[in-house]
Structure 1
């Protein structure tokens, strides 16, 4: 099944813009709609109209104020479309960098990586603060009873939270929750290692 993506492509060079648009529309495993522009005057209005998943922009067209405003739109991922050296300070605002020398496969992997990070953030937003605390408890090896005692709630409430977490994330094992918690920075890797070692010693 293809992943549908709306991309706004901002590049002043017609040749580069058409070439990248051609490559994007032919990437396997993606169904991509591309809206092209060569200027930034109406860029923010265009983003409001199109509601893109990804903004692919030549960094020479963006200043720091524009990028900071765009970063506030959490649903939009920023990818630099780089054809020349760019200011390193500007580049730190981007989620990824696509070069004119990248292969189609490299571009596809960068898009997939950006989409995966977006999905991870979206799933975190679905979780309540309490559910995140429950995940941390599970990852650290606490029983339902221990989690209940720590947060002054009933065991039944813990079980309900765990069911809701499994339904939201489609993760049904402590190992899966551990990976999720590490990737989404709910716990430090060292915390998990310490839990594993202490469990092995018991």
Structure 2
């Protein structure tokens, strides 16, 4: 069978990302389906991990951690900063900020530092920004995960690592709400593990392509 063009494969992934984003947008706009929204977010983290591995896993040089994270943050942080300030100043629902200035400034500081998803209430100010907060955690972990994955010599090693990652992910979800900080699927460890799973899917999908598509 003829091999699928790499560019087309990435276009397929971009299309899936757009579809998941549309689902999330509709649910935030009032369409029922909270569980679907959570799984759509999970799927986006899987895709993010897959694309990170696609770009860097077989690269000749390891990712330079500082440069990698800086380049990622520069792409979205200026607009994010403006949104945080606008939310703090203009929106009526954030009147609590002015009622309790101390907690308000702490909350604003956590949001500006993109640390809100590590707290028990990640939905202050710009509530959907928990996604960026968790994604930043993925960016920090990705270079180290990829360095480890480059040492794996066989597909069975990737399968074993994927099984371990998803087992830990399952156990965390099982204990969701029973541990102090693990009280939400928005806790970054969920997102990091999900993205690592996506990274591991890339070499496995490449192996499937080589065995069955060629």
TM-score, normalised on structure 2?
0.27
The structure carrying a bigger strand percent of its residues is 1
The structure carrying a bigger helix percent of its residues is 2
Of structures 1 and 2, the larger Rg is shown by 1
Does 1 or 2 have the higher relative contact order (CA < 8 Å, sep 6+)? 2
